[in-house]
Amino acid sequence: MINESWISIVLGACVDAGRAILKVYDSDFAVTHKADDSPLTLADQEAHRIIADRLRKTRVPVLSEEGRSIPFAERSCWEQMWLVDPLDGTKEFVKRNGEFTVNIALVEAGRPVFGAIFVPVRQVLYVGGQGAGSFRLDDAGAIAAAGSGELEQWQDLADCGKKLPFHAGPASPLTVVGSRSHLTPEVESFVEKLKTSHGEVLFVPAGSSLKLCLVAEGRAHLYPRLGPTMEWDIAAGHAIAENAGARVYCHDTGGPMVYNKENLLNPWFIVEGAGFRSGEKGK
């Protein structure tokens, strides 16, 4: 479980990184590409720098998408780690559709026990933690600024935010959320099978970790990710969804998702909203 003294540090890091991202977003920014041909901007780099600097105060090691070259022999010995995506949804950032996030998760023994996701354009913050539940805070930029002292413990989050899920979940149609920029044929096939078993299915595209947030809120029943993702893409959303009553499991085995693996690539997975069962292997 997260040390409550770290809550304001993490949320302040999210908000400050979000401010830096928006400065670049509102400019005529340049786009370069990483070795895997994924886009990289100054916003990714600035957000990484800010978050790494803030999290240093916790004395817990950080594994970030923009600082991923830490040998497994070293990180396998970590009891705790911060798993960070300083700008999740860079493709959405480049498209300027607003569907990008800042993701910070605390991982213990291969499990995400705390997650924070900040949506800079909307100024919305999602937070979830083991034994504490999950919450959505609107206008978070005003109340979670670094050093504000207004969000220092779980009770503050409960007082300022809305507990998730706050939608009971639409009775019908079955609502499935999927990637806006990385939709695979396997997901399309998955949705077609759901139509056979459940009738009408509403498919909602979304970018970044917002897909997990939609399930956590209860606005979507399912998020099938039958395609590649990395650990930092989903750890924060996993913690938020799970502590809002959702289930996150491996598509092929029904087993739990594990973090800080030697290979940081995730297996395909399913996120099921609170009270919903899809009939996949995880049932």
Q: Is 88 annotated in some ligand binding site?
A: yes
* Rounded-to-integer distance, Cα 269 and Cα 250, Å: 4
* pLDDT higher than 60, residue 282: no
Neighbours of 162 (CB within 10 A): 13
Q: Is 233 annotated in some ligand binding site?
A: yes
Q: Is 138 annotated in some ligand binding site?
A: no
What band does 28 get if pLDDT is binned at 50, 70 and 90? confident
Secondary structure class of 243 (helix, strand, coil) = coil
* pLDDT higher than 60, residue 145: no
Nearest residue to 206 (alpha-carbon basis) of 175, 230, 231, 236: 175
Among the ranges given (24-28, 31-35, 204-208), the one the predictor scored with the smallest mean pLDDT? 31-35
Q: What percent of the chain stands above pLDDT 70?
A: 90
Q: Is 18 annotated in some ligand binding site?
A: no
The partner residues of 222 in beta bridges, in order of sequence, read 176, 272
Secondary structure class of 190 (helix, strand, coil) = helix
- pLDDT per residue as tens digits for the range 74-109: 999 999 999 999 999 988 998 999 999 999 999 999
Q: Which residue has tokens 């007082």?
A: 159
Among the ranges given (199-203, 246-250, 268-272), the one the predictor scored with the smallest mean pLDDT? 199-203
Eight-class DSSP state of 253: T
Distance from the Cα of residue 133 to its chain's centroid: 15
Across all residues in the chain, what is the average pLDDT?
Answer: 90
Rg for the chain (alpha carbons), in Å? 18
> What pLDDT was estimated at residue 68?
81
Give all strands (DSSP E) within the chain, no chain letters. Answer: 32-33, 39-40, 62-64, 80-88, 101-108, 111-119, 124-129, 133-137, 162-163, 174-179, 201-206, 222-225, 247-250, 269-272
CA angle 270-100-206, nearest 5°? 45
Q: What percent of the chain is helix, strand and coil (3-state, nearest 5)?
A: 35, 25, 40
The more confident residue out of 54 and 39 is 54
> What pLDDT was estimated at residue 170?
54
- pLDDT per residue as tens digits for the range 110-140: 999 999 999 999 999 999 999 999 999 998 8
> What pLDDT was estimated at residue 104?
98
> What pLDDT was estimated at residue 187?
94
Q: Is 65 annotated in some ligand binding site?
A: yes
- pLDDT per residue as tens digits for the range 40-70: 778 988 999 999 999 999 999 999 987 788 9
Q: Is 87 annotated in some ligand binding site?
A: yes
**Domains in the chain with CATH codes:** 4-163 (3.30.540.10), 174-272 (3.40.190.80)
